[in-house]
Amino acid sequence: MPPAHQVFLLSPANSAGKRAGFLLRTGARSPLAQRLRSPEGATIGEVYTFMSGLYFRGKLAYALAFAKPPDGCVGTQVIVPGLGLRAPHDTIDLDGLHAIARVPVDPEEQRYTRPLQRDAARLAERLQATDAAVLLGSIATAKYLDPLKAVLGPRLHFPQEFIGRGDMSRGALMLRCAAEGRELTYVQDTEPPPD
């Protein structure tokens, strides 16, 4: 039986990668780079979509299409290093993006795990035992699974179809599913095979 409620947790884009450099470098002039330098900032969703491209765009479209959050809970939440879980419409500015880029996505790094587990614990308080928090991110490493599983336990799920697929393939799959209204199969995190 499908869960009554499901919230999607999106893994972050690489804030230290080449595309992030286009936003962070001095003199960057793209409209997004200019908004990051403005008092209003830019949304996490658009910044991460720019930095990650197809993969994050697919995750975001899919999560927005299929989230079924409990009352008072955001159905799509993004892992933001150093900040925990944030809604994709939350904003950051250039200083904020620099700060994110300085926090290693490493389960041994307290600057990463402490806020992530704090926000995951708040989410856990709103989820019933039969609800699901679905991770849309890599299941092959401990960097997302370990901190989340420690708090969410058996409520943590991931798409079965992610196993054996690379990032670009996952992104394209999620975009197709969102467009077609076709949901993936979620399985509990026990000991997933490497992807």
pLDDT digits (tens, 9 = 90+) for 94-104: 999 999 999 99
Helix, strand, coil abundance in the chain, percent, nearest 5: 45, 15, 40
**Banded pLDDT at 189 (limits 50, 70, 90):** low
Q: Does residue 35 or residue 195 have the better pLDDT?
A: 35
Would residue 157 count as lying in a domain?
A: yes
The verdict on residue 119 lying in a domain is yes
Does residue 165 belong to any structural domain of this protein?
yes
* Residue 189 CA, distance from chain mean position: 17
- Domain coverage including residue 142: 6-14+53-89+105-188
Cβ density class 117-150: b for 16+ within 10 Å, e for less: bebbeebbeebeeebbbbbbbbbeeebbbebbbe
Asked if the structure places residue 67 within a domain, the reply is: yes
User: In which band, very low, low, confident or very high, does the pLDDT at 195 lie, cut at 50, 70 and 90?
Assistant: very low
Which structure tokens are listed for 92? 């950051």
- Is residue 193 in some structural domain? no
Average pLDDT over residues 15-40: 88
Higher pLDDT pick, 75 / 195: 75
CATH code assigned at 180: 3.40.50
Output DSSP code: residue 192.
P
Q: Which residue has the higher pLDDT, 81 or 72?
A: 81
The reply to whether 43 falls in a domain is no
59/137 Cα distance (integer angstroms): 8
Please provide residue 157's backbone torsions phi and psi, each rounded to the nearest 5 degrees.
Answer: -125, 170
Q: Give the pLDDT confidence score for residue 22 in this predicted structure.
A: 87
Q: Which range has the worst mean pLDDT, 28-32, 74-78, 120-124?
A: 28-32
Express each pLDDT in 109-152 by its tens digit. Answer: 999 999 999 999 999 999 998 999 999 998 878 899 999 999 99
Q: How many domains does the chain have?
A: 1
For the entire predicted model, the pTM comes to: 0.92
What rounded mean pLDDT belongs to the chain? 91
